[in-house]
Structure 1
Amino acid sequence: MSPFFAAIFLLGLCVANAVNFTTVYEWDKFDFVWPSGPESSIGQMKQNFNPLEVEIRFLAAYEGRLFLSLDDTSPGIPATLVWLPTSGSATASPKLAPFPTWEFHKKDNCNSIQVANGMETDPDGRLWVVDQGNSKCPSKIWIFDLVNNDTTERVHQFPDKVFSHSYSKGWLHDIVLDKTPDDYLAYITDAMSENIVVYSRKTDKSWTVKTPGRKWYSLALSANREARQLYLGRFKSKEMYSVSVSELKKEDGSAAVKLIGEWTGNPYRMLFDSANVLYAASSYKDYLSKSNISEPFREQRLHEVGDLESGRPFTFALDTNGTLWMTERNETEDWSKARHKLLKAAVGAGSYLFGTPTDLPLRG
């Protein structure tokens, strides 16, 4: 095939696989829903807050709300776990509201969330949040009951043998959930060790599974429940691997991983839908990719924008109605003029946990 026709062919693929995103909100600068009252710490938080330093890391969706985790590298970020409504009557874009309340975001208070990273919602109305912790507070999983007034259902602190309490020796990044007949298992990446961290809600116990020679950063869980696979990406690597979840249930065991293929970029975020389509966003790439894992690996572009000048331009989540929600960060050449958008598109499939919209249970 000549270069000219090859280019036309690839362009056709991009157009054929594109979806139509609509803009829900836009922000020149973020702001928080600040608490009222004379408490001095509130005034200090507002004084330290720099809206230009807000960067969205992860996104999760459940029944009219979006949950976001924010980059913690700036001391001016007062809360790393916030939420937004998916719709509203106000003309202005909404402010970031701390989740569940400001009381859960006290710095260096180990009964509070220190650094929220990966998140996931489950079909029973829970929000699972990975808390990296900090030099004073150990890492945890927080599980919130969204159906029961956002109450805290459980907080699991990782034992030192599972995840080092030395802050510089571990980096908990992302989480997926595996719903079994009698349990929920969480699989979590630690980008600084050659392990996958596993947690069982039923037993409230965590363990590691070794993957010698490889450290993992991004992950996604397939929708095929009979032969479910965990897909894995390494930090600053185009390679994608998979491992059977059956190997992850062996406490303190090891697992063999299989190379699946290579993306055109280095994915920092991946997500499966219920049709076994895998979505991926890569560092410094101004497009979203997808691949149908039911077929031989082939990357296709789902959404493409102009030059965003952002290391993490997108993050995304699927809701129960087959809507793909996505944030977009545009830093342009002038970082001080960074803009954010919230977009949505109908893709006709729910997340790997929820199934297709027609299969979803209705809440009474």
Structure 2
Amino acid sequence: MLGKFFNIIYLLLLSTYVANAVTKLREKFLWNAVNFEYPDRQTWLHALSVGDFIPENNLPVGIEVYNEKLFVTVPRWRAGIPSTLNYVPIDSPDLSPRLIPYPNWQANKAGDCENGLTTVYRIKVDECDRLWVLDTGTTGIGNTTQNPCPYALNVFDLKTDTRIRRYVFRPEDTNANTFIANIAVDIGATCDDAYAYFSDELGYGLIAYSWLENTSWRFTHSFFMPDPLSGDFNIAGLNFQWGEEGIFGMALSPIQPDGYRTMFFNPLASGHEFSVSTRILRNKTAVEDSYHDFKVVGTRGKDGHVTAAVMDKNGVLFYNLVSRNSIGCWNSRLPYTPENLDVVDSDDVGLVFPSDVKIDRNENIWVMSDRMPVFLIANLDFRDVNFRVYTTTVSEVLANTACAQPSLNSLDGYGALGSPKFYSFPISAKPALPKFIGYDVAPVKSILPKYAGYDVSPKLPSYNIGGSKTGYRNEPTAFSYSYVTI
């Protein structure tokens, strides 16, 4: 009875949301409830009759893209989830395609610890055509959680659709409170120079794994813990508390001049962003003395709750603002301050709890929304669309945002004799620009309707931007101006 009451309240509140609707993201797939591609109708009917498949108990949470496949994960939080790792063909003509178990039905058998996957959350495809999958080995959620299998990393060769490695976490990697729902993969110079990182949301740790050494180690830090002032959530008209939620969202930068990446991360019950170099995470001896290697980046402010993030090849970070029904962005070459944080799209119906965000090899952004709090606390209305997948190009979603500034890498080499450049920056970027790159910036007449031009000239004889030596050895007055539109 209480569930019906919450559902009515939710629907009434939902009907009042008219202010925000996606304008850039395009709806690719949608489901009232997910269905699965069984071998035949008889098998499907049998699964329904015996409770092996209970449609209303299936909640998709994670996505990933590889060539023609869109992977979709469904954790076994309740009974009746037939497969946890699945995919749909991206070119499917069906707006609500059935989920196909990956790599097959047998590999998704719950409780088959050696050969099957029990519960999978978020997954990652790397540059070497491998799919990295963490099986938590659990069923249920909260006080219904059971652990039939240990935490185990499974890696699949996507060219052959076969598992090529299974690694069981060491006992020291987890604790009694461990809950891991996110993964980041770090590829270095070769495919063997690979590391994976796992955020322990409730056990407050960060686990690193080396592909070459086939071993793992665990970091602890106070930055992994929740903010006691950020545990109150208001989503889809529901108020609830997730005050124990620690480190969750993670994203890796492109490789930096020192040969390592920067990991950006955040606790879920927090508005703060932190970072650490993978130089530290790759070093198993650093677990003992690395406190000061972890840095505070900045804050998103009130309701800045994030569970998933991804960084594009130009250093723009995208993240799901689950309490704001939005996807946010930040250009990592600018300070993490309010004027440089922006929203690329928002929808008070379609983006209720955007659970995952990914970027594919063609620089398309993908977002899944699933109304998770309504599923957990109230009841989903299966007459309505509950789960959506959106996509568009990164360039399109960044248009007219504070994150759409030219890559500062394009300034590397500026100062070649006689060839300094004129850059056109979005008007929204104007307040942040002078504070970051250390240039004298004077506005000049706009040459495009929505752009303001800046006359950029160095104010010192030499600079080092982003680790790239620009080698200025001339006075600014020696330069003449040309025009470049970014």
* TM-score category (smaller protein): 0.7 to 0.9
Q: Aligned partners of 1:46, 1:138: CA distance in 2, in Å?
A: 27
Aligned residues: 329
> After superposition, where does 1:12-161 map in structure 2 within 5 Å?
20-36=24-40, 43=47, 47-88=51-92, 90-91=93-94, 93-111=96-114, 112-134=116-138, 135-148=147-160, 150-161=161-172
In structure 2, distance between residues paired with 1:266 and 1:130: 23
2:226 counterpart of 1:187: no
Compared CA separation, residues 87 and 64, structure 1 to 2 (3 A)? same
Q: Computing the radius of gyration over CA atoms, which structure comes out larger, 1 or 2?
A: 2
Q: Secondary structure at the match of 2:51?
A: helix
Paired residue secondary structure (1:181): coil
Q: 1:334 to 1:43 in 2, by over 3 A?
A: closer
More helix by share: 2
Q: Which amino acid aligns with 1:302?
A: V
> Are residues 1:321 and 2:333 paired?
no
Q: Which residue of 2 aligns with 1:197?
A: 207
Partner SS for 1:161: helix
Structure 2: distance between partners of 1:180 and 1:213: 26
Unaligned runs of 5+ in 2: 1-19, 139-146, 226-246, 397-406, 408-486
Q: Which amino acid aligns with 1:185?
A: Y
Per-residue CA deviations over 1:97-117 (Å, capped at 9, x if unaligned) read 111111012222212111112
Equivalent residue of 1:268, what SS? strand
Unaligned ranges ≥5, structure 1? 1-13, 350-355, 357-364
Partner Cα distance (2:299, 2:390) in 1: 27
1:221-242, Cα deviation, whole Å (9 max, x unpaired): 1114335211111131111100
Q: What TM-score results when the alignment is normalised by the length of structure 2?
A: 0.62
* CA separation of 1:309 and 1:44: change in aligned 2, threshold 3 A: same
Equivalent residues of 2:355, 2:370 under 8 A apart: yes
Q: Structure 2: how far apart are the matches of 1:335 and 1:262?
A: 33
- 8 Å CA contact 1:208–1:253 kept in 2: the answer is no
**Structure 1 residue 139: Cα displacement:** 0.4
Shift of 1:295: 0.6
Letter in 1 for 2:181: H
- 5 Å-filtered alignment, 1:213-362, equals 214-215=224-225, 216-227=247-258, 228-254=261-287, 255-256=290-291, 257-264=294-301, 265-297=304-336, 298-307=340-349, 310=352, 312-329=353-370, 335-337=380-382, 338-339=384-385, 340-348=387-395
Change (3 A) 1:132 1:42: farther
For the residue of structure 1 that corresponds to 2:171, the secondary structure is: coil
For residue 100 of structure 1, give the secondary structure of its aligned residue in structure 2: coil
Q: TM-score, normalised by structure 1?
A: 0.82
Q: Determine the C-alpha separation between the residues in 1 that align with 2:298 and 2:101.
A: 39
- In structure 2, do the counterparts of structure 1 residues 274 and 127 end up closer, same or farther at CA, with 3 Å as the change threshold? same
Instruction: Please state how far the C-alpha of 1:274 moved relative to its aligned partner.
Output: 0.6
> Kindly tell me: are residues 161 and 21 of structure 1, through their superposed partners in 2, closer, same or farther at Cα, counting changes over 3 Å?
same
- Work out whether residues 35 and 42 of structure 1, in 8 Å CA contact, stay in contact via their aligned partners in 2: no
Q: Equivalent pairs: percent with the same residue?
A: 21
* Alpha-carbon distance between aligned partners in 1 of 2:44 and 2:390, rounded to the nearest angstrom: 37
Change (3 A) 1:46 1:30: farther
Judging changes above 3 Å, is the alpha-carbon distance between structure 1 residues 179 and 46 closer, same or farther for their aligned structure 2 residues? farther
In structure 2, distance between residues paired with 1:273 and 1:294: 12
Q: 8 Å contact 1:64–1:85 — kept in the other structure?
A: yes
- Are the structure 2 counterparts of residues 50 and 38 from structure 1 closer, same or farther at C-alpha, using a change threshold of 3 Å? closer
The whole-number CA distance in structure 2 between the counterparts of 1:208 and 1:41 is 45
- Given that 2:351 and 2:369 are in contact with CA atoms closer than 8 Å, whether structure 1 keeps it comes out as no
Shift of 1:314: 3.8
Which AA in structure 2 matches 1:315?
A: D
Label 1:104 to 1:226 Cα distance change in 2 as closer, same or farther (>3 A).
same
Q: Tell me the residue number matched to 2:219.
A: 209
The one-letter code of the counterpart of 1:27 is W
Give the drift of 1:307.
4.2
Partner residue of 1:169?
177
CA distance in 2, matches of 1:65, 1:225: 30
In 2, the alpha carbon distance for the partners of 1:128 and 1:116 equals 11
Distance in 1, matches of 2:202 and 2:55, equals 30
Q: Distance in 1 between matches of 2:329 and 2:214?
A: 34
